[in-house]
Amino acid sequence: MTAISKARIAGLFFLLYAATGAAGYSISQSLIVDHDAAATAAHLLAGETMFRFAIAANLVSAACYLVVGALLYDLFRPVDRTAARLAIYFLLISCAMGAFDSLFQYAALDVLKGDYLGDFSASQRHALALLFLTENIRLLDMGLIFFGLLWIAIGYLALRSTFLPRIVGAIALFDGLWYVTHLYRPLALALLPYVIVIPGIGSMAIMLWLAIKGVDAQRWSEQASAARSRA
């Protein structure tokens, strides 16, 4: 597979990752009523099919994310093998968190429907289900930290590369700094919705560039040859 093909496929799979992840998140969040456990429980039980679809979409999103990581690693390996590995480690941690948070969503359904919780009152089940859904969001926020570190690593690699415009690296670094604000949740909440919208636009612009323009194949080959000669 050529470098330009890897870049374009990575861009397309990132778009799939974003679309399925956004669909899963928006559907699941539409069923949650803030600070109202009983109403949330009623919505989950009434919309169980849609909720399960949202969970499935989240898992598909994680799978697409892994494809993106494998292709980006191959693409950036000639630039700096160590930094490329670090980037893929950040991606794997973020991906694992994104997939694992579905367990909290399943747990919320199990609490509401499980016969083995007969000793719990209805209000206790409702509160526990809402707690699981709240922890689901917390885990998503934690995953965004590693997502930000991934973009910082990509920004560094893009700036060091000869086959991508430097503006790509600058945007990636800018995106990463926005995402790592989730290290301090009060700051991230104060910056809403910009902390999601601004880096989201930047990352989508980069991946659209890769999907449409790809990379400079000749310069990628030259940098790959130089990396092999140094090895």
pLDDT at position 139: 92
Answer for the pair 155, 169: CB distance below 8 angstroms, yes or no: yes
For 33, the token pair is: 């009523």
Mean pLDDT of 198-206: 92
pLDDT at position 34: 86
- Sketch the domain layout of the chain as residue ranges: 3-226
Mean pLDDT of 98-113: 91
Measured CA to CA, the distance from residue 227 to residue 231 in angstroms comes to 6
Q: What is the pLDDT of residues 21-54, one digit of tens each?
A: 999 999 999 999 988 999 999 999 999 999 999 9
Please state whether the peptide bond connecting residue 186 to the residue before it is cis, i.e. omega within 30 degrees of 0: no
Length of the chain: 231
Torsion angle (degrees, nearest 10) of CA 160, 161, 166, 167: -110
In the predicted structure, residue 231 carries a pLDDT above the cut 70: no
Q: What is the pLDDT of residues 146-175, one digit of tens each?
A: 999 999 999 999 999 999 999 999 999 999
DSSP secondary structure, 149-175, as one string: HHHHHHHHHHHH-SSS-HHHHHHHHHH
pLDDT at position 121: 87
In the chain, which residue ranges form alpha helices assigned H by DSSP?
Answer: 3-30, 37-46, 48-76, 81-113, 122-160, 166-179, 185-190, 194-212, 217-230
Mean pLDDT of 188-196: 90
Average pLDDT in the chain: 93
For 5, the token pair is: 């093909």
Answer for the pair 202, 168: CB distance below 8 angstroms, yes or no: no
Measured CA to CA, the distance from residue 25 to residue 28 in angstroms comes to 5
Answer for the pair 75, 7: CB distance below 8 angstroms, yes or no: yes
Answer for the pair 126, 40: CB distance below 8 angstroms, yes or no: yes
Measured CA to CA, the distance from residue 144 to residue 199 in angstroms comes to 11
